[in-house]
Amino acid sequence: MEALLASAVGVLTAAGVFLILRRRTFPVILGLSLLTYAVNAFLFATGRLALNSPPVLNKYAEVAYTDPLPQALVLTAIVISFGMTAVIVMIALGAYLSSRDDRIDMKAHDSVDAAPGEDA
Amino acid sequence: MSLFLIAALPFLGAIFPGLLIRAGRNASASAAGLASFLAFTGLMIHAPAVLRGEVVTARFDWLPGLGLNANFMLDGLGFLFATLILGIGMLIILYARFYLSRQDPMGQFYTYLLLFQGAMVGIVLSDNILLLLVFWELTSLSSFLLIGYWKHLPEGRQGARMALAVTGSGGLAMIAGMLILGHIVGSYDLSVILQNKELIQSSPWYVPALILILLGCFTKSAQFPFHFWLPHAMAAPTPVSAYLHSATMVKAGIFLMARMWPVLSGTPEWFYIVATTGLVTMVVGAVIALFKDDLKALLAFSTVSHLGLITMLLGFGTKVAAVAAMFHIVNHATFKAALFMSAGIVDHETGTRDIKRLGGLRQLMPITFGIATIAALSMAGIPPLNGFLSKEMMLEEAFHTAWLDSHVVIPALAVFAALFSAAYSFRYISHVFLGSERQDYPHHPHDPGPGLWLSPAILVVLVVVIGLNSATVAGPLVSASAQAVIGGELPYFKLKLWHGFTPALYMSIVAVLGGAVLLGLHKHLERFWNALPRPEAKVIFDAVIDVLTSLSRFVTDGLHNGIISRYAAIMVTFTVGIGYYAYATGSIGVATRVPLDAPIIPIIGWICLVGATLAIMWFHRNRLLSLVLIGVVGLIVSMAFNYLSAPDLALTQISVEVVTMILLLLSLNFMPTETPVDSTKARKLRDAAISIVAGIGAGGLIYALMLRDFAFPTISAYHLENSYKGGGGTNVVNVILVDFRGFDTFGEIIVLGIAALVIFALAESVLSSNVRAYLLNRKPHWPQSGDAHPLMMVVVTRVMMPIALMVGAYIFFRGHNQPGGGFIAGLVVAIAFLMQYMASGYTWAIERQRFYYHATIGWGVLIAAATGLGAWFNDMPFLTSDFGYLHWPPLEEFEWATAMLFDTGVFLAVLGAVLLALDSLSRFAWQPGIQQEYPMDINPQRDTPPVPGTGPETVARAGKET
């Protein structure tokens, strides 16, 4: 089971990194989403894996519980990463609609040193 | 008065001049003067004790973990400097009131001046070197503001920048030196450091620490080769020059050398670095000063020269030299501040500071002439003025000091410098005031009112009084400060005019006579001097700055060329590199955990996940397809969470998944659906190599981690144990979120709310630009569905709405004890609303919208905050929760917890944030004509059929693909 999860994290990371190295906004967003899965699964796995022992206390029997702390961390991480994805999507969309171009590299005249007001 | 108050008074006072300037310039100046006066009075209260040799202290542990304590101490040395800073400060405040013109913003001036004064007082009273560093940097910053006070003058701005660059970089070096020093001793308290001379000087870190600290001192005190900033700082108004550049700031470096004298001096390194630098500075400054035509430049270089003199005395490392240094600090401050102010008066009255255009002012400005002459004669070292006394002591000491076994170098050069010093002092008198009256002054000069000449006059009186009665007037102060510097028994010394026929007297006579001769030859010497090639400091400085700028631009542009994929590649490669370094140099323990078995179902899930991920890589140019595939990945991740005992995570992941997919689909509606090929083969190979290495690293790390037990006991057991007892809930994850780590969650909902507001703001700015026209006139890329709002979907979603809300409420209420809670409930309810958007259209949904999403986020955060604050009323820390049990017949006994209220805040914030984000995106799709589109065309209440022509092609495609 550990090998499955670790290899899945590895594959997700590799795919995510590959996609964030692309030059268009959409693949980068996809790559970030994949990286988010990878990171969340990674954080979750730091609590070590356990089956059938959710951290919900059982009043009637002595049972084992898995580590609740990484779960709490990952829960908020999932929600926050939604917020992050939404912001990036909005930035990408605004940039695309303003310039009709979804490349993420700046052209020479877009850089800071160029005089402002060149592209209307 | 407490030392805290003395140090704080100038800072507190700094508020008032800026505010009171509306009540007039006198009010502003009086407020500034009052603050200085109160601080000065407070200081004087301690005078008897300090002059007896006691040390006044005030201690306060500010950040004890860092060794940073707000400890102040007042000993003789600090008292001497504080007296100069506050005393001359008051005179400068008076002088500036009449010096600055109506156009100058005087409130600002006094505010900056008091900030500077406070920083200086802080330096000299600090008993902690970290605290001292804070004040040290504050003087650099406030002097930057003061030098650049005349913002309209380019010289002022350049001079301010240069001063900040030089003193600021010296300050950085000093921080390093001080940290080393504190590290050697194990304490950052000066009083401790000063007790550990042997420890410091035997440490191998002594020389690096010494050099770094001296760099800070030398830059601040304008020692060669860092002296060049001081003349350029003369672009400041004259009161600033008189205050900062003669009496106070430039002496901060000297103060620090004196402060550290007991532990750093006495070694050959100290002698050769400090004494040589001082000697060279003294000679170079004196020679240049003679050939400067700008009055203030002349005084600036003479200040450089005198600072070199004091530095040299401290560098000698003998006790008598230290006494002489202290005495010369007092004398120099009095005559040099008076000289600067007199130069300011001349400038103010005649309209020029160019010596070549002046002369013959003796009759026109008799008072100024008197003040300037006495001060300049003191600077030249003429008896019976105070400058003579300390210069005599300096020459005496120089005579006895050998440099590399040569008994000639130091005395000869000291006489040489003294000779030039006498020459430029005489030049100041004769070329400005003596000679015949001229007719071509820019303004017709006359003596100013007492407001301007009173301050230098007071100083000149001191010059004479100290000269005549040195032992009684200055004796106690010099003794007390010298004792603080030496830190032991005072040597035998006498402050008096006549010491008999000593070598120093002959040297003095040579210097004064030689100075007079030099002045007579000035015309010829000047021609020779102007023909000499000289390095121009400003040119060199600008060239160095240019090189540094282009170097950093080269590095920055190389790394940050505007292509984000390059930053990402650099970051990933670097991270992998660090990880590899840790792996290669560290050790890894043996696996202690037995891996879990992998039944067939997880293996199928794994195949789906890896297959979908690889397919995304393969098909990522087809954006719609990759969205579907990423949905598969998300689904399997949530199932994995569920399988691995994390039901809360599974619920969250799956509901976030839904929202994210809707969001991405919406955005894809406006973007190209294909990604063109940009990268070359080689680039793809490179990227593939980077990503595979990163994947192996991440996977390998977590695999190794999962097979080993925790290296340290975790805090998880505590949470499991106290979740029910302390938090009143059995769902530990939820209790952690709303109770144990409630503060984190509080921060997170705020972040989420801010993200949603950012999205809203971005949408607003895009929609208010010319993009709006494009959006309104947009034609779909492909044929649209004939039925924008399918009847079945509309009916089903409306029926499901109350059920979905019910589920949301259920998940919310069970959250404390069973999987669920505010986060998940917020997402579920948000999805319930989104269904209406999708099925019935944005316009229809928004018309029935009864609450604002912004307000929902705000209420969520406020409710969470109010719950947290409620704990204060029970004298508990923020966010302490409480719970209990209620029994209302005929219901079962149920539990209440304040954490529930907090969870309500979380719920509202998540709901509002998600809806605001998607709502902002949906508004892009709005097009005219959409109002006529009814989501449910069969409506018996409506008589008129839909208007033809507003057919499906104009329909918003907002939710169509879903």
**What DSSP line would sit under B707-775, residue for residue?**
TS--SS--SHHHHHHHHHHHH--SBHHHHIIIIITHHHHHHHHHHHHHHHHHHHHHHHHHHTSTHHHHH
d(CA B272, CA B481): 24
Distances (CA, A) of B158 to B106, B142, B144, B239: 22, 15, 10, 19
Q: What is the DSSP letter of B406?
A: B
Q: Rounded to a whole number, what is the distance in Å from the CA of A111 to chain B's nearest CA?
A: 7
**Residue B913 in contact with partner chain A when CB distance is under 8 A:** yes
Chain A interface includes B661 (CB < 8 A): no
Chain A residues close to B630, C-beta within 8 Å: 30, 33-34
C-alpha torsion sign, points B625, B627, B633, B635? negative
Nearest to A72 among B595, B606, B741 (CB): B741
Q: Which two tokens stand for residue B824?
A: 């998940």
Give chain A's radius of gyration (CA, Å).
21
Mean pLDDT confidence for B111-125: 92
Instruction: Say if the Cβ atoms of A28 and B564 lie within 8 Å.
Output: yes
Q: B769 to chain A: which residues are within 8 Å by CB?
A: 98
* B819 and chain A in contact, CB less than 8 A: yes
Q: Say yes or no for a CB contact (<8 Å) between A55 and B733.
A: yes
Confidence band for B381, pLDDT divided at 50, 70 and 90: confident
Is pLDDT at A113 greater than 80 in this prediction?
A: no
pLDDT at A106: 62
Of the candidates A38, A58, A110, the beta carbon closest to that of B698 is on A38
User: Residue B960 pLDDT > 50, yes or no?
Assistant: no
**Closest chain A residue to the Cα of B663, Cα to Cα:** A86
Determine the distance in angstroms separating the CA of A75 from the nearest CA of chain B, rounded to an integer: 6
Q: Is residue B173 part of a domain?
A: no
CB spacing of A24 vs B678 below 8 angstroms: yes
Residue A72 binned pLDDT confidence (cut-offs 50, 70, 90): very high
Using the CB atoms, write b or e for B395-411: b if 16+ within 10 Å: bbbbbebebeeeeebbb
Q: In this predicted model, which residue has the larger pLDDT, B726 or B743?
A: B743
| Chain A contact present for B595, CB below 8 A | yes
User: Can you give the pLDDT at residue B498?
Assistant: 72
Smallest Cβ–Cβ distance between A83 and the set B617, B667, B755 belongs to B755
Q: What does the pLDDT read at residue B470?
A: 78
Q: Where are the alpha helices (DSSP H) in B100-233?
A: 106-125, 129-147, 154-185, 190-193, 197-202, 206-220, 229-232
Q: For A119, phi and psi rounded to 5 degrees?
A: -100, 125
Output B948 or B142, whichever has higher pLDDT. Answer: B142
Residue B810's pLDDT band, with cuts at 50, 70 and 90, is very high
pLDDT attached to residue A111: 46
In a domain, B324, yes or no: yes
Question: Is residue B507 situated within a structural domain?
Answer: yes
The CA distance from B901 to the nearest CA of chain A, in Å, is: 18
Please tell me which residue of chain A has the smallest CA distance to B739.
Answer: A72
Map residue B296 onto helix, strand or coil. Answer: helix
pLDDT tens string B507-555: 888 888 888 888 888 888 888 888 888 777 788 888 998 999 999 999 8
Classified as helix, coil or strand, A24 is: strand
Q: Count the domains in chain B.
A: 2
Closest Cβ–Cβ partner in A17, A65, A75 for B690: A17
Q: Which of B520, B551, B576 is the last residue of a domain?
A: B520
Distance of alpha carbon B835 from alpha carbon B827, whole angstroms: 12
B667 contacts A92? CB cut-off 8 A: yes
The DSSP result for B859-894, as a single string, is HHHHHHHHHHHHHHHTT--TT---EEEE--TTSPPE
Instruction: Show which of B467, B498, B520 is a domain's final residue.
Output: B520
Under 8 Å CB pairs connecting chains A and B tally to 319
Residue B789 domain boundaries: 732-962
Q: CB A84 to CB B752 under 8 A?
A: no
Inter-chain touch B766–A98, beta carbons under 8 Å: yes
User: What would the two tokens of residue B204 be?
Assistant: 């191998």
What is the rounded CA–CA span in Å between residue B737 and residue B404? Answer: 72
Do A37 and B633 lie within an 8 Å CB cutoff?
Answer: yes
pLDDT tens profile B655-684: 999 999 999 988 888 888 888 887 788 888
- Taking the C-alpha atoms of residue B40 and residue B93, their distance in angstroms, rounded to an integer, is 13
Q: How far is A43 from chain B (nearest CA, A)?
A: 9
Name the residue in chain A with its Cα closest to that of B676.
A24
Determine, for residues A90 and B917 on separate chains, whether the beta-carbon distance falls below 8 Å. Answer: yes
Average pLDDT, rounded, for chain B: 86
Look at A93 and B643 and tell me if their CB atoms are within 8 Å: no
pLDDT, one tens digit per residue, over A17-54 is 999 988 888 899 999 999 999 999 999 999 888 888 88
Please tell me the predicted confidence (pLDDT) of residue B938: 54
What residues 739-778 of chain B have any CB closer than 8 A to a CB of chain A? 741, 744-745, 748, 751-752, 755-756, 758-759, 762-763, 765-766, 769, 771, 774-775
**Is the pLDDT assigned to residue A118 strictly greater than 50?**
no
| pLDDT computed for residue B180 by the predictor | 93
Q: Which DSSP letter does residue B897 get?
A: E
B residues 84-113 closer than 8 Å to A (CB): none
Tell whether B616 lies on the interface with A, counting CB pairs under 8 A.
Answer: yes
The pLDDT confidence band at residue B916, using thresholds 50, 70 and 90, is very high
Does residue B776 have a pLDDT over 70? yes
The answer to the question of residue B79 being in a domain is no
State residue B948's pLDDT score: 52
Q: Do B672 and A72 touch (CB under 8 A)?
A: no
Please judge whether A6 and B763 are an interchain contact, meaning their C-beta atoms are less than 8 angstroms apart. Answer: no
Q: Give residue A9's pLDDT.
A: 95
Instruction: Check if B689 contacts A (Cβ < 8 Å).
Output: no
Residue B762 included in any domain: yes
Does any domain span residue B861?
yes
- Structural domains of chain A in order of their starting residue, each with its CATH number: 2-51+65-104 (1.10.287)
Give the model confidence (pLDDT) of B210-261 as tens digits. 999 999 999 999 888 888 888 888 888 888 988 888 778 889 999 999 999 9
Predicted local confidence at residue B439, as pLDDT: 78
Among residues B520, B548, B572, which one ends one of the domains? B520
Q: Name the phi and psi angles at B622, rounded to 5.
A: -85, 100
pLDDT per position as a tens digit, B297-311: 899 999 999 999 999
More confident residue, B404 or A39: A39
**Domain annotation covers residue B780:** yes
Which helix H or strand E contains B414, and what residues bound it?
helix B409-432
Please report residues of B whose CB lies closer than 8 A to that of A110: 562
Q: Is A120's pLDDT higher than 50?
A: no
B895 forms beta bridges with B885
Interface contact flag, A30 B626, Cβ < 8 Å: yes
Tokens of B106: 């005087």
Torsions phi, psi of A51, nearest 5? -105, 145
Residue B4: CB atoms within 10 A of its CB come to 14
Q: Which residues of B touch A2 (CB under 8 A)?
A: 595-596, 703, 706-707
pLDDT band at residue B929 under the 50/70/90 scheme: low
In a domain, B770, yes or no: yes
